[in-house]
Structure 1
Amino acid sequence: MTQEMTCGSNPRIISIATENPGRRYAQREIPDLFGVTDKKLVKLFSGHHISSRYLTIPSPDVSGMVPPESGLDLANKHRELAISAGSAAAERAIQAAGLKTCDVDYIACITSTGFLCPGLSAHLTKALGLRPDVHRLDIVGMGCNAGLNGMQPLVNYLNHQRQGHALLVCAEICSASYVFDATMRTAVVNSLFGDGVAAAIMGFNTNPDRLVGPEILGFVSHILTDQIDSMRFDYDDGKYSFFLERDIPYVIGENAHLPVRALLKKFDLHQRDISHWIVHSGGKKVIDAIKFGLGISSHALRHTDGVLQDLGNLSSGSFLFSHERLLAEKIARAGDYAIMMTMGPGMTIECCLARF
């Protein structure tokens, strides 16, 4: 059974704002800062697919190396930057939508790089001065796919209320969750992720002059539970470190078509009907596997490749960084369909259909 799509009747993305805390480091700088001398490990930082990343790390000591950070140091870093960068991105998204903080009815916060209690949504409610009756949701530990998982309840809420505005904040301080132990396992992760926060305002078509994003039509999830340990956090030496299996790109590439086909079937569409692809910048091999698995071009994923090149993997907010670049091109036409795709632990592939 296909779902009805009435133009303009669905919540849409009204604005997107992004923030990168810390300093921008050239990828080639990182090995020296952490005293990496093993040629195999250094090679991970010399690929052309990532040229730079924003990281928040201590200044080098007299030896020219970054001093070690304790688990407490990392937890404090996550708390401080998730709140400060999250507030900055949210404020600009609210302003870009032509709204005031009192207009936000629902806030959903996503993070997998630290744990806060009270949750980030409470901290941002205080920092932004949101209404005391604002609805809140925190999604913690779900991983790189979680941005779309956080968007779905906001869409459901707006569809139920038929009015109002919702704020999505993906705050990933990846330099607050790392272990540098000179092993290949941690070096792969440490060569990939960067610090980034993305915020989006969602609502209805009440001010066409300010609307820049598409309306959200529907979602499809696909979890591969036989791969549940392929992406995970382990606890090493008093710190959480992320682990990635080597075959992740191939598993994602082989299965990416399943949620895409299910989503298209749900709305009686074909892949040829999709004009724009907004995909999580999970890494070069992951992106290449999706291109191959779905039969889409490098041009179709230029925003995803560009975010990875300039900023690295930004976890749950990566797809909003890519979406922001698509909107900046101003090439989307009314009626164009777009698919957003995020991938993460579980192993999970999330898809969303949108229409400009």
Structure 2
Amino acid sequence: MKSLQKKGMSYITAIGTANPPHRFSQSTIARFMEKSMNLNAADSRKLHTIFRASGINYRHTVLDDYGKEDSFSFYPNTPNLEPFPSTEKRLLAFREHALGISLAAVRNLQGSVPSSAFRTEEITHLIVVCCTGMYAPGLDIELVQELALPSTIQRTSITFMGCYAAFNGLKVADAFCKADQKAKVLIVCTELCSLHFQRQPTDDNLLANALFADGSAALLVEAAPARKSLRIEAFHSDLAPEGKHDMAWSIGDLGFEMKLSTYVPDIIRGGIRDLTNLLLARAKNNSKGIRHFAIHPGGKKILEAIQQELGITEEQNRHAYTVLKNFGNMSSPTVLFVLNEVFKNASGTDNDEQVLSFAFGPGLTLESMLLKFEIYDA
């Protein structure tokens, strides 16, 4: 390896992703939603319009009910799905399924690097990111036990921050690595959004039911680079308070309730240029030479708004569309799925090329990150 460790830096050296086994088309899920929400003709037309315009072909879920018309295993087998699953029942299902999909993401990460690059006894920190379920002792401790990580490992949980939470996990990992040149940080982002289906036919619910899905992503962040790495260059975040009522996440008696209005793309459009300029100023850079993008596909209209505002082509943003098409919006892991596509497709000619990444969430929070490829001959 030609690279030398640079003091006070951090690097993404491996990425792994995983999804639960149940994969359904948008049309299949739409049929379940239409029937279970007991929609009138007008709302039924609205639902199908939203589903067709979503840019999503398939989504994954831990629940096989979304592909059924009867004989449900999670929802009640009654005409109106009563009693509708309580928050307690949904969180029990989260506890049942979250570990397995998280382990699958970590094992996919392990499979992407030489065995010497991921020794469990060398992992110094574990960061678990999630906003769709919680319990204690939690997923972090279960991962320590199942992966045979050191019992003395430093554990951090980042909860209830929504789709941009992976950026906070990366910020924490970046700080650990800059403080300790021996740091090896494992980040696991796991979300089971499909557990929180809401059947009241509000505009928010119709939109959320068309977008969200289940998935997990794992990252290895180190203080030293590997043969192929993404060096973390800079972060910048901001708030658009005028959107605080347009994207929100609360706990109700019947699951976690998403507030997601159709105004979100316009709010992001209004703040994305300043966010980008301030990020690049912090990195003492400009956007002219950036060819790689990892943008959280919160929805097709969000991607289109960012492209129009920053002058990005759909081809440059193709990885976000690929993830949206095949997986939907999985909340916090989604931007890491996009970043994984960028990472996998990079070659030696991309050495020193930069990657510009964005994610968004409640607040309305705007997060940005600048990365740079370091790719060396073995």
User: Counterpart in 2 of 1:311?
Assistant: 327
Alignment RMSD: 2.1
Q: Deviations over 1:124-164 (max 9, x none)?
A: 11222210111111111001011011111111111110123
- In structure 2, relative to structure 1, the CA distance for the partners of 1:269 and 1:300 (3 Å cut) is same
Shift of residue 184, structure 1, vs aligned partner = 2.9
**Structure-2 separation of matches of 1:335 and 1:171:** 30
Instruction: State the identity %.
Output: 26
3-state SS of the aligned residue for 1:45? helix
Q: Any gaps of 5 or more consecutive residues in structure 2?
A: 374-378
Shift of residue 313, structure 1, vs aligned partner = 0.6
3-state SS of the aligned residue for 1:316? coil
Q: In the alignment, residue 246 of structure 1 is paired with which amino acid?
A: T
User: Counterpart in 1 of 2:127?
Assistant: 108
Question: Is contact 2:91-2:133 (8 Å) kept?
Answer: yes
Find the partner of 1:167 among 186, 192, 213. 186
**Structure-2 separation of matches of 1:22 and 1:183:** 29
**Structure-1 separation of matches of 2:110 and 2:234:** 24
3-state SS of the aligned residue for 2:350? coil
Q: Deviations over 1:50-104 (max 9, x none)?
A: 1110022244364789644512331122122221111221233245343121121
Shift of residue 7, structure 1, vs aligned partner = 8.5
- The 5 A counterparts of 1:160-239 are 160-205=179-224, 207-208=226-227, 211=228, 213-239=229-255
Q: In the alignment, residue 244 of structure 1 is paired with which amino acid?
A: L
Matched, 1:351 2:368: yes
3-state SS of the aligned residue for 1:321? helix
Q: In the alignment, residue 129 of structure 1 is paired with which amino acid?
A: A
Matched, 1:55 2:70: no
Q: In the alignment, residue 310 of structure 1 is paired with which amino acid?
A: N
- The 5 A counterparts of 1:69-148 are 70-71=85-86, 72-97=88-113, 98-148=117-167
Q: In the alignment, residue 364 of structure 2 is paired with which amino acid?
A: M
Q: In the alignment, residue 179 of structure 1 is paired with which amino acid?
A: Q
Find the partner of 1:340 among 343, 357, 370. 357
Q: Deviations over 1:16-35 (max 9, x none)?
A: 00000141100011122231
**Structure-1 separation of matches of 2:103 and 2:142:** 9
- In structure 2, relative to structure 1, the CA distance for the partners of 1:294 and 1:24 (3 Å cut) is same
User: Counterpart in 1 of 2:376?
Assistant: none
- Normalising by structure 2, we get a TM-score of 0.86
**Structure-2 separation of matches of 1:190 and 1:53:** 11
Matched, 1:264 2:280: yes
- Normalising by structure 1, we get a TM-score of 0.91
Question: Is contact 1:22-1:57 (8 Å) kept?
Answer: no
**Structure-2 separation of matches of 1:243 and 1:317:** 19
Q: In the alignment, residue 40 of structure 1 is paired with which amino acid?
A: K
**Structure-2 separation of matches of 1:350 and 1:322:** 15
User: Counterpart in 2 of 1:279?
Assistant: 295
User: How many residues are paired up?
Assistant: 348
**Structure-2 separation of matches of 1:324 and 1:191:** 24
Query: Does 56-65 or 96-105 show the bigger shift?
Result: 56-65
Q: Deviations over 1:248-290 (max 9, x none)?
A: 1000011011221111111221110222111111001111111
**Structure-2 separation of matches of 1:250 and 1:159:** 36
**Structure-2 separation of matches of 1:64 and 1:33:** 11
3-state SS of the aligned residue for 1:350? strand
Query: Does 248-257 or 37-46 show the bigger shift?
Result: 37-46
Question: Is contact 2:130-2:158 (8 Å) kept?
Answer: yes
Q: Deviations over 1:270-327 (max 9, x none)?
A: 1102221111110011111111121211111100111001110111111110111112
User: Counterpart in 1 of 2:29?
Assistant: 30
